[in-house]
Amino acid sequence: MLFPAAAAAQGHYNIVYIMTDDHTAQMMSCYDNRFVETPNLDRIAADGVKFVNSYVANSLSGPSRACMLTGKHSHKNGFTNNEHGVFDGSQQTMPKLMQKAGYQTAIIGKWHLVSTPTGFDYYNILPAQGDYYNPNFINMDGTETREKGYVTNIVTDKAIDWMEHKRDKSKPFILFVHHKACHRAWLPELKYLREYEDKTFALPENFYDDYEGRDAAKTAEMQIGKHMDIVYDTKMYTPGSKTFLTDNYLNMIGRLDSRSRAEYDYFYDSLALDFNSRHLTGKALDEFKYQRYMRDYAKVVKSLDDNVGRMLDYLKQSGLLDSTLVVYTSDQGFYMGEHGWFDKRFMYEESLNTPLVMRLPKGFNARGDINEMVQNIDYAPTFLQLAGAPVPADIQGVSLLPLLQGKHPKNWRKSIYYHYYEYPAEHAVKRHYGVRSSDGYKLIHFYNDINKWELYNLNTDPHEMHNIYGQPGTEKITARLMKELVRLQKQYDDQDALKFNAK
């Protein structure tokens, strides 16, 4: 057998990169078995590796995707936020470098970077957020095709079809399978409408967080109780009700054909009828919304897990599995009621983390949990190194290949850097940046129209309920983290953030 690096130099490895949207580790049983079972996702981890300290650089769809494609933080790839961002496709990207290394590149599913994809030999992408039911896809000639069925199944069908029929089988490939699941508003595959309906999900212990000492958390608009829409998010539609979000909801399910729509309405109408007769208020209403949210999200994960299983089965049957690195991750984590929230954006653990499991090609011996801190800027250099391609010096991530070979380099990073920009915007999460250390401390600076620092000791306060910044006894750890923050800002050349430190 070839030593992995030697085989890589000959371009022997394929890469199947499966990325979902807003799928959080709390809803993946190999990370957290409280809520759902995900046997197929868990299969990847069981046969390969699971990164237990996996983070994003900016917890939001477009920015996260841009970090992955470039191996650079947001301020360097230019796509800092979804509201005003258009990805500059003329810049150096990992898919372009993979092409140079002789790889075929393809992307299927969610793109969300506004500009036309560059560096892909083949693409078939969802417009903007895409739709769950009978979704449109953008073809390479710019036309759109409306497909019939459920988006997670269709993305998988297209990915398998590309591997089986569309690629040049004489070349190695990297295939990006980008699912719409599990993005808001969590519309289930019809065959799973009734799944999880008999399950009552336990409330997180900080569901009724009062955000004391955390001003940015206080003003954020992502509380399940206050901000989750009863129609758009929880589907409790009252005929005749009319809001912006009601119209959006009706547009989404309006894509169903009449027979499927009747099946959908039959299910949700009975729930809505019951809901409307109960006139819930206060905590009872908050908890009703939480259960609806958890159940619908879990159903969407169920279809996703099925489809990841289908991909694994195809790779096995086609003889590709031993020569393929299979990566499963999400564009960021998500709140499942922690702090009373849904959505992401914050540098708190639930949305800073993202699931990352990999099934390794033959010759890579790492198995089980990997504890080193990794970030989504690391994927680009990892794939390049696996392809035997040079990693340009301006790429800011580091290759995970040594970790996949079972090594534990002593000089591995001991902290990660984060910067979130999208404000003012939906959910009203203020701009912030910060550092998280491998020994469980986190320093965050909220800036722009606020100037607040937060410090957490995750060893004693894993749910980040107690901001200890400025408290007696924290001087030493604050100084250490501040020094590390500045070191990372300089290393990554985040000049704007450096200026905000002193303000």
Task: Tell me which residues touch Ca ion (CB under 5 A).
Answer: 21-22, 61, 331
Question: Would you say 21 or 454 has its CB closer to Ca ion?
Answer: 21
d(CA 462, CA 397): 27
Q: How far is the CB of 13 from Ca ion (least distance, A)?
A: 28
Our CB check for Ca ion shows the closer of 154 and 182 to be 182
Q: 51 - beta bridge partners?
A: 370
Q: In 3D, which of 402, 340, 375, 379 has the Cα closest to residue 205? A: 340
- Let me know how many helices (H) and strands (E) the chain has, helices first: 16, 16
- Cα within 13 Å of Cα(239), Cβ side: 5
As a whole number of angstroms, the distance between CA 56 and CA 73 comes to: 10
Lookup result for tokens 């912030």: 432
Assess contact for 437 and 414: CB atoms under 8 A.
Answer: yes
Provide CB contacts within 8 A for 18, sequence distance 6+: 177, 179, 308, 311, 326, 327, 328, 329
Smallest distance, Ca ion to C-beta of residue 479, A: 35
Please report how close the Cβ of residue 344 comes to Ca ion at its closest, in angstroms: 7
Do 397 and 409 contact (CB within 8 A), yes or no? no
| Comparison of 21 and 189: residue with beta carbon closer to Ca ion | 21
Min. distance of Cβ 193 from Ca ion in angstroms? 24
Quote the least distance from Cβ 434 to Ca ion, whole Å.
Answer: 20
Q: Least distance from C-beta 61 to Ca ion, angstroms?
A: 4
Residue 331 C-beta: closest distance to Ca ion, Å? 4
State which residue, 329 or 396, has the beta carbon closest to Ca ion: 329
Distance of alpha carbon 248 from alpha carbon 236, whole angstroms:
14
Considering the complex, state which of residue 287 and residue 422 has its C-beta at the smaller distance from Ca ion. Answer: 422
Closest Cα to residue 434, out of 422, 449, 446, 450? 446
43, HSE (Cβ side, Cα atoms, 13 Å): 14
Tell me whether residue 7 or residue 125 sits nearer to Ca ion (CB atom).
Answer: 125
Question: Are 474 and 463 spatial neighbours (Cβ–Cβ below 8 Å)?
Answer: no
Residue 189 or 331 having the CB closest to Ca ion: 331
Distance CA 402, CA 380 (A): 14
The residue (of 21 and 422) whose beta carbon lies closer to Ca ion is: 21
Which residue sits closest to Ca ion, CB atoms considered? Answer: 61
In whole angstroms, how close is the CB of 405 to Ca ion at the nearest point? 31
